[in-house]
Amino acid sequence: MDKVVFDDGETLPLFIKPKNGQDSAEFLINWIGENKELMRKKILEYGAVMFRGFKINEGVEFERAVTQVDPELCDAYRGTSPRKQVPGTEYVFTASEMPPFYPIPQHLEMSFLAAPPRNLYFCCLVEPVGPGGETALCDFKKVYDEIDPAVRQKFEDKGVMVVRNYKKNWSVFNDPTQLKGWPEVFNTEKKEDVENECRDTLIDFSWKKNDGLKLVNKRDAFENHPDTGDRIWFNHLQVFHWYMIPDEFYRIYKRVGQLRYLIMSWIMWFIKLFFLNVIGPMNCGLHTCYGDGTEISNAENKHIRDVTWKNMVFNRWKKGDIVMIDNYRISHGRQPYTGRRSIVVAWSKPYLRPSLREKSE
Last-in-domain residue among 307, 328, 343: 307
Answer yes or no: do 288 and 168 share one domain.
yes
Answer yes or no: do 147 and 295 share one domain.
yes
Answer yes or no: do 123 and 153 share one domain.
no
pLDDT of 1 above 50: no
Answer yes or no: do 154 and 287 share one domain.
yes
- Which pLDDT belongs to residue 359? 65
136 part of a folded domain:
no
* Mean pLDDT along residues 315-339: 96
pLDDT of 34 above 60: yes
| CATH label of the domain that carries residue 32 | 3.60.130.10
287 part of a folded domain:
yes
Answer yes or no: do 153 and 250 share one domain.
yes
Three-state helix/strand/coil letters over the chain: CCCEEEECCCCCCEEEEECCCCCEHHHHHHHHHHCHHHHHHHHHHHCEEEECCCECCCHHHHHHHHHHHCCCEECCCCCCCCCCECCCCCCCEECCCCCCCCCEEEECCCCCCCCCECEEEEEEEECCCCCECCCCEEEHHHHHHHCCHHHHHHHHHHCEEEEEEECCCCCCCCCCCCCCCHHHHHCCCCHHHHHHHHHHCCCEEEEEHHHEEEEEEEECCEEECCCCCCEEECCCHHHHCCCHHHHHHHHHHHHHCCHHHHHHHHHHHHHHHHHHHHHCHHHCCEEEEECCCCCCCHHHHHHHHHHHHHCEECCCCCCCCEEEEECCCEEEEECCECCCCEEEEEEECECCCHHHHHHHC
pLDDT of 266 above 70: yes
pLDDT of 3 above 70: no
Distance CA 264, CA 247 (A): 10
* Mean pLDDT along residues 32-52: 96
Answer yes or no: do 94 and 223 share one domain.
no
Average confidence score pLDDT of the chain: 90
Answer yes or no: do 258 and 151 share one domain.
yes
Answer yes or no: do 302 and 321 share one domain.
no
CA dihedral over 230, 226, 187, 206, signed as positive or negative: negative
Answer yes or no: do 256 and 350 share one domain.
no
Amino acid at residue number 5 = V
pTM, two decimals, is: 0.92
345 part of a folded domain:
yes
- pLDDT one-digit tens code per residue, 97-154: 888 998 999 999 999 999 999 999 999 999 998 889 999 999 999 999 999 999 999 9
47 part of a folded domain:
yes
340 part of a folded domain:
yes
208 part of a folded domain:
yes
How many domains are there within the chain? Answer: 2
Distance CA 331, CA 234 (A): 9
Last-in-domain residue among 268, 288, 307: 307
Distance CA 83, CA 96 (A): 5
Answer yes or no: do 150 and 298 share one domain.
yes
* Mean pLDDT along residues 327-356: 94
pLDDT of 155 above 90: yes
- pLDDT one-digit tens code per residue, 56-81: 999 999 999 999 999 989 988 876 66
13 part of a folded domain:
yes
Answer yes or no: do 325 and 236 share one domain.
no
Amino acid at residue number 205 = F
pLDDT band at 173; cut points 50, 70, 90: low
64 part of a folded domain:
yes
pLDDT of 304 above 70: yes
- Which pLDDT belongs to residue 325? 98
Last-in-domain residue among 270, 288, 307: 307
Answer yes or no: do 158 and 276 share one domain.
yes
Domain limits for position 190: 141-307
Distance CA 103, CA 109 (A): 15
